[in-house]
Amino acid sequence: MVAVLGAPVEMTAECVKTNLLGLTQAKLDEFFITLGEKRFRTQQIMKWIYHFGVSSIDEMSNVSKVLRERLKSCADIRGPEVVSTDFSGDGTCKWVVRVASGSCVETVYIPDGKRGTLCVSSQAGCVLDCSFCSTGKQGFNSDLTVAEIIGQVWLAAKSFNSVPAKSDRAITNVVMMGMGEPLLNFDNVIDAMNLMMDDFGYGLSKRRVTLSTSGVVPAMRRMIGLTDVSLAVSLHAPNDALRNQLVPLNKKYPLKTLLAAVHDYMSVLPDKRRVVTFEYVLLKGVNDQPEHAMQMIYLLKDVPCKINLIPFNQFFSSGYERPSNNAIRRFQVMLQQKGFNVTVRRTRGGDIDAACGQLVGQVQDRTRRSVRYRDQQQKGSEAELINVINMAS
């Protein structure tokens, strides 16, 4: 029997079970109210799922047997299915997980001393098609559910034996920088990030949960008041003409509009010491020249920020190359000399295709973009072969 709005209702065989993984405190409160239970059950169950990483209701030893049986009749705990796990020589780990749509997405863990960063996906594929990103070439299939997003953290924590929760846990930071544009899956991403920060979830500091966006301006403004996670913006070009080529979304939300939205979000955060991070993939001969550094200095001169330079990570038929170390260093020094805090991201997980921009998964593409790219690559290969034959004849 369950109580809905105070009235007892008989459970039926056709009852669709509720996945407890991914329910926020508010939604779990609602769930237990429908069962006629007190709200304290919410915190009790959340501790079992996130602090202890249980996957079975039977493992919840301080919950009465009667309630456990009632829960099993209408609820369960379902994380994403792990298809494969790969370990890099540098300690990076990549999981390929299958989601409900049938597509597979990738999650990457990067250890760095006492810091362990988990890079989480929000979509199967990506709509945006940034020209230098292999994920975009896979097309798009679906948004991930809250359970599929927070489930990546849940799986990783269990994999590293970080449950029960402890002070020296493996995952200290989470970044929404995996497959997909997080702000195009707004509600599910916000709920998942809030679970990451919830004391009865993973209890991560708002400084240690970062959302990375290519600049979906209306959604950036919508974030205000709903969350106060750290913000990272995929910049990649210091002027609109070049950014239109690299990040097509810029045609809809150009730099002036994007920076205004960044200012509005950052200005309402209670901690005024926090700054936005600008991510900038360096592409040889494209956006790595001294004039680009000077344009960037002018563009960001009034924006409290940190700049993260990311040397391009090669993937098949990308058409781009990684700049030389000298060019990367020159770009960094020019920015630093003007007072900017600039880091160069060290490439990690390249031997297992887990580096930034390399995540591809297995996307059942609804956009047919992946087919178009394969056709273009095939035509390019055929043209190159004809040229070689002509030169040899």
Give me the active site residues, please: 106, 356
| Strand duo 104-112 + 115-119: pairing | antiparallel
| Strand duo 140-143 + 123-125: pairing | antiparallel
User: Cβ distance 335 to 342 under 8 Å?
Assistant: yes
User: Cβ distance 247 to 130 under 8 Å?
Assistant: yes
Which two tokens mark 294?
């000077």
CA 181 to chain centre: 8
- Written as one letter, the residue type at 376 is Q
Q: Phi/psi at 266 (nearest 5 deg)?
A: -70, -30
Which two tokens mark 275?
């700054």
Residues 281 and 298: their CA atoms lie apart, in Å, by 18
Q: Phi/psi at 257 (nearest 5 deg)?
A: -65, -40
Q: Phi/psi at 105 (nearest 5 deg)?
A: -120, 170
